């Protein structure tokens, strides 16, 4: 995915992505990766209130290079990120079948 994309049921941005935005079981986890260019970038996470899976501590931002965990991304958060690759892990945490849109 790219900064600015919205993840919704079956879509990342305007591109079909089967399974995206849909946590099918209580054990489901969606994982999305994106890159921050040289010089760094501010990245905003906004989850809508219908996106229950993103409104829990199971949804995290992680830097790929060293595993640094930036913590919970539920609600509205702004991160000033250094250049590199990042991973967004969206866990279901016991709410089967939750879907919703999550802009990045």
pLDDT tens, position by position, 56-68 = 556 789 999 999 9
pLDDT of res. 4: 74
Q: Would the pLDDT of 81 be above 70? A: yes
Distance in angstroms (rounded) separating the CA atoms of residues 95 and 101? 16
CATH of 6-103, one of 2.60.120, 1.10.1760, 1.20.58, 1.10.287: 2.60.120
Close Cβ partners of 15 (under 8 Å, ≥ 6 residues apart): none
pLDDT of res. 99: 45
pLDDT of res. 39: 96
Q: Would the pLDDT of 85 be above 80? A: yes
Cite the DSSP H helix spans in 1-104: none
């Amino acid at each position: 995915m790219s900064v600015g994309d919205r993840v919704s049921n079956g879509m990342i941005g305007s591109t079909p992505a089967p399974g995206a935005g849909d946590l099918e079981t209580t054990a489901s986890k969606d994982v999305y990766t994106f890159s921050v260019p040289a010089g760094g970038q501010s990245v905003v996470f906004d989850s809508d209130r219908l996106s229950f899976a993103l409104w829990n501590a199971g949804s995290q931002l992680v830097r790929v290079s060293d595993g640094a965990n930036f913590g919970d991304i539920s609600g509205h958060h702004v991160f000033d990120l250094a250049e590199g690759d990042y991973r967004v892990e969206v866990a279901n945490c016991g709410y089967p079948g939750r879907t919703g849109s999550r802009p990045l």
